[in-house]
Amino acid sequence: MTKLVWNEDILISLGRIFLRKVRDNMRGDLRSVVRFGQTGQGIAPNYQVTLPNGVILTYRGLSHKRFEEAAEFDISNISEPFDLAAITRAHEAT
């Protein structure tokens, strides 16, 4: 099991379409943050969005649909948070 280390340069490798869907799931709120899964290959990681009101939404990386089996992911298996500005910068850099 790999422990990927996410940063803004690596986010770019996720691609324009993936990042656009993540951004959409952040609901366009500048105060939302996203954390990416650190296990697997890093090609289409699962991720969780934390909204400003504290609600956590988990998503499957392949479909960008809600990950209903987990209210939130294990903190030891997700990245540090990225805000909407970081996701937008990575999206624009692809």
Tokens for 60? 């499957």
Provide the pLDDT for residue 1. Answer: 52
pLDDT tens per residue across span 42-71: 889 999 999 999 999 999 999 999 998 889
Provide the pLDDT for residue 2. Answer: 64
Q: How confident is the model at residue 81 (pLDDT cuts 50, 70, 90)?
A: very high
The CA-to-CA distance between both ends of the chain, in Å, stands at 28
CA 5 – CA 60 distance, rounded (Å):
19
Provide the pLDDT for residue 39. Answer: 80
pLDDT tens per residue across span 9-31: 999 999 999 999 999 999 988 99
Domain ranges of the chain: 8-93
